[in-house]
Structures are given as C-alpha cells and as structure tokens.
A and B are shown apart, each in its own frame.
Chain A
Amino acid sequence: MSEQKDSDLEIKLQQRIKEVLGKSLHIRHVDSGSCNACDFEMNALSNPIYDIQRFGVDFVPSPRHADMLLVTGGVTRHLEEAVRKTYNAAANPKIVLAVGTCACGGGMAGQTYAGNGGVDKILPVAVYIPGCPPRPQALLEGILRALDQYEDRGESNES
C-alpha cells in the first residue's frame, strides 16, 4: 500500500490545502457521543498507510489551533455544553463537519432523552460525511469538499 502512488483524491487534497490555507490544515476532533468507530477511522488517517500528515493535515490537541472541527456522534445531552464550548473556542474562520451517520442525523438511536439526534441541531454544519463509520477515504473526500466552502467563507466568517 505504502509503495502505491498517491491517488487523484490525495493529490487534489494536497493542492487544495495549499491553495486555500497557504500551508497546512489543522483539524480538531470532537466526540459528541459516538460509538467510537468514526473516531477510530479518523485515527487511522494518521497511520503510516494513509499518513494524512504528508498532505499537511494535523490533528491538533486544542480547538484554539483548529481551522476545522470534525464532530462524531449525535450530540448527547451530557456533551452538549462541551461541544458548544469547543466550537466557541475555535478561532474564525472555522468550519464544522458532521462525521458519520449519528453526527449527520442521529443514526439508530435518533433523538432521545439523552441525545439531540445530530450535530446540526446545535452547530452550523458545512459538510456531512455519512457512513457507519465512513471509511478513511470518505473522510478525505469530506475534508476536500469542506475546503471549497472554507475558501468561500474567507475573512467574512462570523462567530
């Protein structure tokens, strides 16, 4: 796998990160109550096989450093406040991706006493990446799409 050439998707991702952000893309992951499958797929992006760092993508430890939030899970009641705080802590311009079926629309559990049933119930979502969980390639595709929207927002992004 590692001997293979970069796919078209990967080449395009690298190009667009340069064009849109100048240098690199910093992503912050937020678990809003996922089953952890989406989180593990996101983790896989950093393994030596996908090695997303070679395109200039970094998962950062603080929302303060992030250009983009990847949110997994359907936002549980117990995490709602933490998700809002994380969003507010990220600097503008910022963009939110709903990762996985639960984040996109609640998934199997749906809206319950314990969960909101989707990230867009509490945050503006720019890109939805469905899948249970989405494969690493789908995550790359989603990030690429988000870059287009990120470019459109530019300096005008509001809090």
Chain B
Amino acid sequence: MLKNKKLFLTRIKQQLGEKILSFTIRQPNETEIVVKKDQLAEVCRFLCQEKEGRLFTMVGSDEREFAGSFVLYYVFSFDETQQFITVKTMTPEEDSTFPSLAAEFPALNWYEREVKDLLGLRPQGHPDLRPLILHGDWPEEIHPLRKEFDVSQNAPRVKSRESFMQYEGDEVTEIPVGPIHAGIIEPGHFRFGAVGDTVLYLDARLFFTHRGLEKASEGMPLSKALFLAERICGVCALSHAVSFAQAVEAAAAVEIPLRAKYLRTLFLELERLYNHIGDVGNICAGFGFAVGVSQGTILREELLMLNERIAGHRYLRGIVDLGGVRFDIAHPDYADILSTLNKIEIGFTELVDILLSHDIAVDRMSKTGILTLKQANDLEVVGVAARASGRNIDIRRDQPYAAYDKVSFTVPVYTEGDVLARIRVRIDEVFQSISIIRQIFIQMPTGDVSVGLPPISPYARGMGWVESSKGETVHWLMTGPNETVERYRVRSATYSNWPAVALAVPGNIVPDFPLINKSFELCYACCDR
C-alpha cells in the first residue's frame, strides 16, 4: 500500500510537470500542489478525470495579512490510495477574480458562489451568479469573511436581488412554499413550476438559518470553537464535534489513545442509529403510514434516552474533547447499551417487516424521486443518497478515522436511486451499526481516553471528516496565533446533497415532494451554518 501511494504521487508529479509551481507532501495522507490561476482548470480536470479524484471540499480564505493574497484550496479525495491532494491557488486583492470551473464540475457551483458572497472573489464564467449564502437584500460589496469585517457588524438591507426560474405558458403554475412550513421542520423556500400535478422544475432559496458560525469562530480559542462546532447542527452534533477535533488533532499532529478512538466510534454509531431509525419512521410520514411513524419515533426516543443515561446528553453534546473524549464508560454502561440495542433490533426488524411487506407503502416509495448515478457523480453526492444511486462511497471505509479500520462492516449499495433504495440503505446500515457496536465491546482496549495537545503553531492546517448519518462531513481548519481559529470551513453532507434533491423532484407529483425530501433527510442547519 505504502509503495502504491508513493508511486501514485510520483506519477502525478511527473505528469503535471511544469503546470504546477510546487508539489509538497504535507502529511502522510495529504499532498499540496500550488498552481497559478490559469492552470487551475487543467490540473483539476487531470485529477478528477484521469486520476479519479473526487471533490472533497473547496475553501476560500483571506490570507492577505500573512500571505499577501486570498487563497483558494480545492481538496480532492483519492479513496483507492487513501490520499488527499489539495490544489492551492492565490489571487491578490487587486485582481479579485478566479476562473469558474462550475460549468465543467457542477459540484463546484455552490462553493464558488459561496466564495463570491463571503469573500468577494468573482468566479469568472460561472453560469449562475445569484446570491447564495447571503440573501439578495445583503449589500453586494460587503463580504463577511474578509478580515476587515467585524463579526458583529450589521449591514443595511438593500433592494433585493433575489430571482427565481421564470416560466412561460398558460399551463404552468408556480407554487411557492416556505420558508416557514406547516410542520416542525427547518426553513427553506421552494418554488415549484408545475403542470397539473407534475413538477416541471424546482427552484429553492436556502440558507435561511445562516448564523455566520464560520466567521464567529475566527479568533476563538480552539477549545471554545469545539462547542461552536457541536452546535452547527442538532442531530449531527457529534459528527461535527468529532470532525472538528480531528481537524485540530491533525493540525497538532497528535494521535489520540486507542480507547478514545473506540469510544468516538461507539458514540458516532449511536448517533447514526437514532437518526437512521428516526428517518425511516419519518419517511413513512411522507405517505401517511402512521404505524411506521409511531414505531420509528418510539425507537428513536429509546435511543435518545439511552444517550442521556450513558453520556448525559440526548444529542450527544459534550462528549468529545480535543485529544480524545471527556469521560470513560464502565461495565454497567456496556450492559445498558447492549440490552437496549437488543430491544431496538427486535423492534426495528418488526417495523421493517411491516413496512416492506405493505404493497401500498412499497409502491409509493419505488420509482419515486429517482437520482441517477450520473447525476450523483456529477454533483459529488455523498452518504445514503450516493449509495442508493450506485455510488459506492463511505468515508468510514474509504478514509478511515476513529476505530473504523478495526471493525468490520459492509457498505450497502443499491442502484435504483429512488426513495425505496434510500430507505433500504438506511435499514441495512442500522443493522451494520448494531454489529459495529457489538464488535466495539469485544475489542475495546483499556487505557486513557484523552491525551494533551502540544502547542499548535499559527497557520497550521488540519482536516477532519466523519460519515454522519446524512453523509460525509468535512471540517477544514487553519489555526491562528495562540491556538485560535484563523479560518474554519464546514462542508456538510447536506451542502453536497441539496442540489441533488432539485434534480430528483421534477417529473414527480407535487404531493411526493415531502416524501422525496424526507428520503434525502437533509439538515438545513448543517448546510447554512
């Protein structure tokens, strides 16, 4: 494996030749390539198309103070060799533009618009330059992630620049929905263009819950920013906490104790369990299957109560520490977890049997909201949605973290790409999670659960990632002076997957939108930050 990695990197270096300014192996698993802006497209194309890299995250950063320019980082994951390659390019303040690659790599669409909104760098040639993160009434010339902007500064509201897809023809009805919805759900605004019951096109206005968390973290001590990371999202709280901690630990080049790795894995799987089981129940609400909804919420509640008994928090906040976990668990906890899981396994099996043997339920789910493999690949879709469309990725297996390289599990992949496939992925993963937790209790060694961090130098970089119940979540971190945050970029699964919902809905009937939406089960809070 090691030899493969070396060969892989050497070949890339040779093939890129003079197109790049530098080639540096920064970490055993991360290589940085610096390019001039005009070579960006060609280098990214080479890495994606010839080397089968997939876009992991893209980060814009204001480094004028210490590096004299704005910097863009495009991170690609190479799952086969377990490598990351970061393509870095600089743009000075006088020339605040960069070449847009969105037309060629649709997955970059949102990232580039985000850089435009928050940093004021213009992606040249971008096909859709509507505002994204900041809504249309935010002044176009103010960019919160520029260092001179103070986090508490308030910008005046200007005349809105919002615009939506326009339709022609008598038969087309436009249906606006949200941002405040009828149920207890998160805010988003949707515009359906429909002919009769059939959706022609779905346009969306998201980022209503943008709280400015990345900006708020800047200058914050790393130990405090951990609490902020935990509060990006309620139901992915632990995934975010672990991702952030891993990013800090990577920047500090620290290895956490093995027992802490196992404990993180245990809690991460408990997070996946309550989410997946709750989501299976919730999807039933999409077609009024009340017995599924009730059964799902009962099982979910039992898992939340278990979380509280074991960790003191129903949503698993306050567990992770930089360098490990905050507390250990003992044998009574083991027994509690295992016996609860036995009960859950029986109850969930019963729910699945009822659901999948119900012809009407299965009929409503199958061939509804299809996302094709090509669409999933083009948009770099992650998580459950990816695996339901035949895209075989799972970051727990592909770039293992915590103790995922110590336990065995299978990654379910379906090819239909419909609601049924997405629910089946979740169902299979529930049983895999229970199996992972049982293995943890057999294998987990004794020992410390945290290790102190050494001093971290300013402008060190680190990345952390977790396969949350929604899909892979990536935290990119650059440290500042005195162990603070200089730049923090959170790319959640929802950020990668929302554009896919807009592709899966057209052609379906309007009443199936809630069902399709629930089958992706995206967190707006994760996405909007």
What is A's interface to B at a CB cutoff of 8 Å?
29-31, 33-44, 46-50, 59, 61-62, 73-74, 76-79, 82, 85-86, 107-115, 132-133, 135
Closest chain A residue, CB of each to CB of B294: A48
Q: Knowing that A29-B184, A107-B231 are A-B contacts, what are 18 other residue pairs whose CB atoms are under 8 Å apart, sorted by A's residue number?
A: A33-B187, A33-B209, A34-B186, A34-B209, A35-B232, A44-B304, A47-B300, A48-B294, A48-B297, A77-B138, A77-B210, A78-B208, A78-B210, A82-B208, A113-B151, A113-B152, A113-B153, A114-B215
Which of B135, B232, B233, B234 has the most chain A CB atoms inside 10 A of its CB?
Answer: B234
- A107-B231, A109-B213, A132-B317 known; A79 vs B524 contact (CB < 8 Å): no
- A30-B180, A49-B301, A109-B212 known; A36 vs B234 contact (CB < 8 Å): yes
Interface flags, B202-213, vs A, CB<8A=1, else 0? 000001111111
Query: How many angstroms from the CA of A41 to the CA of B216 in the assembled complex?
Result: 26
Closest chain B residue, CB of each to CB of A115: B211
Task: Report the minimum CB–CB distance from B512 to chain A (whole Å).
Answer: 19
- A82-B180, A113-B212 known; A40 vs B234 contact (CB < 8 Å): yes
Q: Is the CB of B149 within 8 A of A113?
A: yes
Q: Is the CB of B314 within 8 A of A112?
A: no
Which of B138, B180, B183 has the most chain A CB atoms inside 10 A of its CB?
Answer: B180
Q: Report chain A residues within 8 Å CB of B209.
A: 31, 33-34, 73, 76, 78-79
Which of A62, A77, A86 has the most chain B CB atoms inside 10 A of its CB?
Answer: A77
B523 interfacial by beta-carbon distance below 8 Å? yes
Q: What are 6 A-B interface contacts by the 8 Å CB criterion?
A: A30-B180, A46-B297, A109-B211, A109-B213, A110-B152, A114-B212
Closest chain B residue, CB of each to CB of A112: B212
Q: Is the CB of A35 within 8 A of B234?
A: yes
- A36-B234, A44-B301, A47-B298 known; A79 vs B187 contact (CB < 8 Å): yes
B386 interfacial by beta-carbon distance below 8 Å? no
Q: Is the CB of B211 within 8 A of A47?
A: no
Q: Report chain A residues within 8 Å CB of B235.
A: 36-37, 40
Question: What 3 A-B pairs are tightest by C-beta distance, nearest first?
Answer: A37-B234, A61-B182, A114-B212
Count of A-B residue pairs with CB < 8 Å: 134
Q: Is the CB of B211 within 8 A of A74?
A: yes
Q: Is the CB of A113 within 8 A of B215?
A: yes
Closest chain A residue, CB of each to CB of B144: A113
Q: Is the CB of B315 within 8 A of A37?
A: yes
- A37-B235, A111-B152, A112-B152 known; A47 vs B301 contact (CB < 8 Å): yes
Query: How many angstroms from the CA of A112 to the CA of B183 in the assembled complex?
Result: 28
Closest chain B residue, CB of each to CB of A85: B180
Q: Report chain B residues within 8 Å CB of A30.
A: 180
Query: How many angstroms from the CA of A31 to the CA of B216 in the assembled complex?
Result: 21
In B99-157, the 8 Å CB interface with A consists of 135, 138, 144, 149, 151-155
- A36-B523, A47-B294, A47-B301 known; A112 vs B187 contact (CB < 8 Å): no
Closest chain A residue, CB of each to CB of B220: A108
Query: How many angstroms from the CA of A158 to the CA of B184 in the assembled complex?
Result: 27
Task: Report the minimum CB–CB distance from A75 to chain B (whole Å).
Answer: 10
Which of B155, B180, B228, B237 is in CB contact (< 8 Å) with A113? B155
Q: Is the CB of A109 within 8 A of B216?
A: yes
Q: Report chain B residues within 8 Å CB of A110.
A: 152, 216
Q: Report chain B residues within 8 Å CB of A49.
A: 297-298, 301
In B172-212, the 8 Å CB interface with A consists of 179-180, 182-187, 207-212
Query: How many angstroms from the CA of A85 to the CA of B234 in the assembled complex?
Result: 26
B46 interfacial by beta-carbon distance below 8 Å? no
Q: Report chain B residues within 8 Å CB of A85.
A: 180
Q: Report chain B residues within 8 Å CB of A46.
A: 297
Closest chain A residue, CB of each to CB of B142: A113
Q: Is the CB of B234 within 8 A of A133?
A: yes
Closest chain A residue, CB of each to CB of B178: A82
Query: How many angstroms from the CA of A49 to the CA of B155 in the assembled complex?
Result: 45
Interface flags, B229-263, vs A, CB<8A=1, else 0? 00111110100000000000000000000000000
B289 interfacial by beta-carbon distance below 8 Å? no
Q: Is the CB of A76 within 8 A of B208?
A: yes
Q: Is the CB of B184 within 8 A of A42?
A: yes
Query: How many angstroms from the CA of A36 to the CA of B188 in the assembled complex?
Result: 13
Q: Is the CB of B184 within 8 A of A78?
A: no
Q: Is the CB of A38 within 8 A of B208?
A: no
Closest chain B residue, CB of each to CB of A110: B216
Q: Is the CB of A82 within 8 A of B216?
A: no
Query: How many angstroms from the CA of A56 to the CA of B182 in the assembled complex?
Result: 19
Query: How many angstroms from the CA of A108 to the CA of B151 in the assembled complex?
Result: 13
Closest chain B residue, CB of each to CB of A43: B184
Q: Is the CB of B301 within 8 A of A78?
A: no
Interface flags, B158-179, vs A, CB<8A=1, else 0? 0000000000000000000001
Query: How many angstroms from the CA of A77 to the CA of B314 in the assembled complex?
Result: 29
Q: Report chain B residues within 8 Å CB of A76.
A: 208-211
Q: Report chain A residues within 8 Å CB of B208.
A: 33, 76, 78-79, 82
Closest chain B residue, CB of each to CB of A47: B297
B227 interfacial by beta-carbon distance below 8 Å? yes
Q: Report chain B residues within 8 Å CB of A111.
A: 152
Q: Is the CB of A86 within 8 A of B180?
A: yes
Query: How many angstroms from the CA of A38 to the CA of B209 in the assembled complex?
Result: 14
Query: How many angstroms from the CA of A76 to the CA of B300 in the assembled complex?
Result: 29
Q: Is the CB of A35 within 8 A of B525?
A: yes
Query: How many angstroms from the CA of A77 to the CA of B139 in the assembled complex?
Result: 13
Q: Report chain B residues within 8 Å CB of A31.
A: 180, 184-187, 209
Task: Report the minimum CB–CB distance from B136 to chain A (whole Å).
Answer: 10
Q: Report chain A residues within 8 Å CB of B215.
A: 112-114
Q: Report chain A residues within 8 Å CB of B297.
A: 43-44, 46-49
Q: Report chain A residues within 8 Å CB of B207.
A: 78
Task: Report the minimum CB–CB distance from A100 to chain B (whole Å).
Answer: 9
Q: Report chain B residues within 8 Å CB of A43.
A: 184, 297
Q: Is the CB of A113 within 8 A of B154?
A: yes
Closest chain B residue, CB of each to CB of A59: B184
Closest chain A residue, CB of each to CB of B315: A37
Q: Report chain A residues within 8 Å CB of B304.
A: 44
Q: Report chain B residues within 8 Å CB of A34.
A: 186, 209, 234, 525
Q: Is the CB of B233 within 8 A of A35?
A: yes
Q: Report chain B residues within 8 Å CB of A135.
A: 314
